[in-house]
Structure 1
Amino acid sequence: MPSGASLKKVPSPTYKSLVGNGTENQNRYRLCPKCGNFSHIQEGQYYCILCGTKLIEQCTQCGTAILHPQGRYCHHCGAPYRGEHVESGRP
């Protein structure tokens, strides 16, 4: 650093600025399309801790956020979250 130069203090980001006010992610989940494991979106997990598959946070058909952690079907369009691994039994 050149002599006489001063260091500028850069404000560090606040927790709130990093995670928002919490309301937009409060009821959102990431789901494993392979084994059905789920994680709250605020936990910051992107891969399933049980099988290693990349988690999804929205329906792959319509893009609607996953709001129900144990849901097997999209509440908006009815598409299954778990590809060919979905259990039968839905009419």
Structure 2
Amino acid sequence: MEMDTIKYQFKICTGCSFFCTKEEAVEFCPYCGEKLINKCPTCKANIKTPHGNYCTQCGNLYPGRATKNKK
């Protein structure tokens, strides 16, 4: 399955693990107050896996995410 066929796109918090769909009218995290992002800051790809630490297109770490999982 290609990534473009995934229906949902997400916003993720750069300060904690909160996420929501891109369509929701939420710009800041309701738990920690950090700004939500909906695109990879490096390659500008849409975020399609809200639980991931790394961009599925370029492999770069999302801001505020743990680095211990990457091999």
Q: Which runs of 4+ in 1 moved over 6 A?
A: none
- The aligned runs of 1:1-91 (5 Å cut-off) are 26-83=7-64, 85-91=65-71
Give the number of the structure whose residues are more often strand, by fraction: 2
Give the number of the structure whose residues are more often helix, by fraction: 1
State how far apart, in whole Å, the 2-side matches of 1:37 and 1:78 are. Answer: 21
The number of equivalent residue pairs is: 65
Partner deviation per Cα, 1:51-91 (whole Å, 9 max, x = no partner) = 000000000111000011211110000111134x5241311
Larger Rg: 1
Give 3-state SS (helix, strand or coil) of 1:30's partner: strand
Q: TM-score, normalised by structure 2?
A: 0.81
Q: CA deviation at 1:33?
A: 1.2
